[in-house]
Amino acid sequence: MNSYDLAPDPETLATLHWLKHGVVSAATCRTFPHLAKCTQLFLQCADGRWIELSARGEDLEFKFEVFTLHVRPAERMNPTAHHELLLTGPVEVVPLLTEDWIDPAIPAGSTLGSGPVVQCAGASGSASASASAVCRYLGGVRFRDAKGVVLHVATSGFPYDLHVTGISDDPEFRKGNYVAARLES
């Protein structure tokens, strides 16, 4: 089995740190307006700066791509919707790891293309023994504010989409598929 462990991007982790003082507003962008989920989330920090959260595709091998959480200061915004969101500081910011794998032993069913392979997701260490490749990566973040409000942002099951609690909910999102990242200080 091929095994990949994509370390969390240092710039993503540093930018997430900016949100510890609070969030006063949110905006989303839906690249494909006919689809319900957002592809970009913008969070406005208590100091007025905007932060962009998005999914970035990582091609690992033939028929195996994962979408890591990518966080940067917003350079330009073109939101399709604004949302009321208040996270009162201090905000606990917890990066979340997840795992994807491809498993040729799982029947793909009726589909297009040749040689389809099923891609699965779950908590770290949950890949099946028949998996041909597995990848652990930063797939989400959990925010918990001073008043106990919790917001999950995670890469979705559909490429480049985001799950955002209460704003862009993915019915396939499972909290149990994510574990807190153990990062060295």
- CA dist 178 → 35, 70, 80, 125, 167 (Å): 25, 16, 28, 11, 19
pTM for this predicted structure? 0.91
Q: List Cβ neighbours of 34 (8 Å cut-off, separation of 6 or more).
A: none
Taking the alpha carbons of 155, 159, 161, 165 in that order, is the dihedral positive or negative?
Answer: negative
**3-state SS assignment for residue 132:** coil
Distance between start and end Cα atoms, the chain: 31
Phi, psi of 116 (to 5 degrees): -65, 150
Q: Give percent of the chain above pLDDT 90.
A: 75
Dist. CA 62–CA 104, nearest whole Å: 13
Residue (of 93, 96, 179) closest to 140 by Cα position: 96
pLDDT digits (tens, 9 = 90+) for 9-42: 999 999 999 999 999 999 999 877 666 689 999 9
Residue (of 131, 139, 135) closest to 176 by Cα position: 139
Q: Would you place residue 61 in the very low, low, confident or very high pLDDT band (cuts 50, 70, 90)?
A: very high
pLDDT digits (tens, 9 = 90+) for 74-124: 988 888 889 999 999 999 999 999 999 999 998 888 877 777 889 999 988
- Cβ proximity of 36 and 156 under 8 Å: no
**Which whole number is the average pLDDT over 41-68?**
96
Q: Is it the case that residue 53 has pLDDT exceeding 50?
A: yes
Measure the CA dihedral 106/111/112/114, to 10°. Answer: 30
Q: Is it the case that residue 184 has pLDDT exceeding 60?
A: no
Q: What is the pLDDT of residue 111?
A: 76
